[in-house]
Structure 1
Amino acid sequence: MTTDTEHGIRIQAAAGKTASRKASPMFTTGEIRKVFTDWAPRYDATHAWRTLKRREARLALGVQPGDRVIEIACGTGLNFPHLRQLVGDLGQLVGVDLTPAMLEVARESASRNGWKNVEVREADAADLPFPAASFDKAFCAFALNIIPEYERAVAEVMRVLVPGGRFVALEMRSMDTQSWSGWTARLAHRFMRVCTVDGSHRSLEAIQRAFPDVQVRPYWAGMLYVAVAKKSRVGSAWPS
């Protein structure tokens, strides 16, 4: 059961309960860890709908065999099979997440598939434990809207990317539906609510401020977007 809040959003937990907080920040890191710890065993089964547009987002990364790729808020590793295939045997895939229970599922998946070059680490996206210029590509799907310090997280992605590196984010975006009418407005409002979209989180704007070159591919009347952000090369702009 879910209930409306005037300005807040919620994470719909596996038990059917919701965690709701006023916006900015939406949740503390402790709250996020608790909810997703409870969710971990059933996350993949209950979130199949969130595979929508993931393929487009992954392909937008432009991963080459041998690339070093980091996935921010990797969760249970839903994207690992696809990203691992792209980096190949000579590349490296690192997934970071705040919740040990989610990472345990991801770690078991990597072990079961024999992926020696896939690593998972517990880390806050706003404080990544990697040196600058550690990765060629960075990926994040449906997570920026629930990261309390999402602007710092975007800055951290920029920091750990090599010059010329690429960051792709797949995310929901709050929409102004006041001018909409009838079932479209009701559907949009409910969809954004369930997807934990909060109007105070301006994740796309944060990406556009941090990166010099950002292309946005909107879907579903702009409620869903894929942002392809490119870090400048040293001494030159990213080639067109």
Structure 2
Amino acid sequence: MAEKYSRFAPFYDLLSGEFPVYRAGRVLGIRSLDLEPGHQVLDLACGTGLNFAHLQDRIGPSGTIVGIDRSAEMLAQARRKADRRGWSNIILLQADATTSSAASLSASIASRGGKDLSDATLATYALSLMKPWEAAWETMKDLTAPSGSLCVVDMQDPASRIPGMTALARVACRLGGADITVQPWQGLERDCTQVTGAAARGGHLQVRTGRRRP
């Protein structure tokens, strides 16, 4: 899976269906996080940094974005994006969230000038790509400060009655390597308090936000 994303990293933003479909879920998810200027937010499987502009609008230059991804090529695109925009408050780490310990990741973040635990964490269209996604969820949760906010944005079969919509969504997810059936936001619903939900694009995009138990 990492190899696929590495090959297509230079073209990912053009091929991802961001503006017609997936941007809507990012916007809903990031709006639902309790972000303030100066906060540190962790973007799990950040890819090319498609969340970064939305996050910068909320945390400002005094905040910090920590991006973690398995693919060095995707991270290189994220770094280019940050450099073009003059964002100097971004820490990027190459790591597999399903196998890396939260303790080691926390230490790496702190060594680069970040806080060992983030005020908020999010995973957009990421956990459904990971096996086992539960391991990545535990890592994400353990990198969040007590009472910090967490958000999962992911996909399921759309409820739309438009002919072919479900088949198209399934094909798109299969091509991207996502398992549209796993519903990883269930981990957040189980483990967090003050859970809220939202949906977009005929229910294809699912958003869950909550707080880590203190």
TM-score over 0.5 for the alignment? yes
Rate the CA distance shift 1:102–1:199 in 2: closer, same or farther, 3 A: closer
Instruction: Compute the displacement of 1:184 (Å).
Output: 4.0
Given candidates 127, 130, 141, the residue that maps to 2:106 is 130
- The residue matched to 1:52 in structure 2 has which SS? helix
- What residue is the counterpart of 2:147 in the other structure? 164
Distance (Å, rounded) in 1 between the aligned partners of 2:201 and 2:129:
20
Matched pairs, number: 197
Distance (Å, rounded) in 1 between the aligned partners of 2:141 and 2:192:
7
Q: Which amino acid aligns with 1:45?
A: L
- The residue matched to 1:45 in structure 2 has which SS? helix
Distance (Å, rounded) in 2 between the aligned partners of 1:221 and 1:51:
14
Do residues 229 (structure 1) and 210 (structure 2) align? yes
Q: Is the 8 A contact 2:156 2:181 kept in 1?
A: no
Distance (Å, rounded) in 1 between the aligned partners of 2:202 and 2:85:
38
Rate the CA distance shift 1:221–1:112 in 2: closer, same or farther, 3 A: closer
Q: Is the 8 A contact 1:68 1:87 kept in 2?
A: yes
Q: Percent identity?
A: 26
- What residue is the counterpart of 2:82 in the other structure? 110
Q: Which amino acid aligns with 1:69?
A: V
Given candidates 16, 24, 27, the residue that maps to 1:55 is 27
Unaligned runs of 5+ in 2: 108-114
Instruction: Compute the displacement of 1:68 (Å).
Output: 0.6
- What residue is the counterpart of 2:2 in the other structure? 33
- What residue is the counterpart of 1:66 in the other structure? 38
Distance (Å, rounded) in 1 between the aligned partners of 2:141 and 2:13:
29
Unaligned runs of 5+ in 1: 1-31, 234-240
Q: Is the 8 A contact 2:40 2:119 kept in 1?
A: yes
Do residues 205 (structure 1) and 186 (structure 2) align? yes
Q: Which amino acid aligns with 1:158?
A: K
Given candidates 163, 167, 170, the residue that maps to 1:189 is 167
Rate the CA distance shift 1:167–1:51 in 2: closer, same or farther, 3 A: same
Instruction: Compute the displacement of 1:117 (Å).
Output: 1.1
After superposing on structure 2, the runs of 4+ consecutive aligned residues of structure 1 that deviate more than 6 Å are none
Do residues 90 (structure 1) and 59 (structure 2) align? no
Instruction: Compute the displacement of 1:174 (Å).
Output: 4.1
Q: Is the 8 A contact 1:213 1:231 kept in 2?
A: no
Distance (Å, rounded) in 2 between the aligned partners of 1:133 and 1:103:
20
Q: Which amino acid aligns with 1:216?
A: G
Q: Is the 8 A contact 1:174 1:198 kept in 2?
A: no
Q: Is the 8 A contact 2:173 2:179 kept in 1?
A: no
Do residues 45 (structure 1) and 14 (structure 2) align? yes
State which structure, 1 or 2, has the greater radius of gyration over its C-alpha atoms.
1
- The residue matched to 1:171 in structure 2 has which SS? strand
Do residues 148 (structure 1) and 131 (structure 2) align? yes
Q: Is the 8 A contact 1:37 1:102 kept in 2?
A: yes
Instruction: Compute the displacement of 1:199 (Å).
Output: 5.5
Distance (Å, rounded) in 1 between the aligned partners of 2:152 and 2:37:
21
Distance (Å, rounded) in 2 between the aligned partners of 1:133 and 1:159:
10
Instruction: Compute the displacement of 1:163 (Å).
Output: 1.0
Greater share of residues in helix: 2
**Alignment RMSD:** 2.2
- What residue is the counterpart of 2:110 in the other structure? none
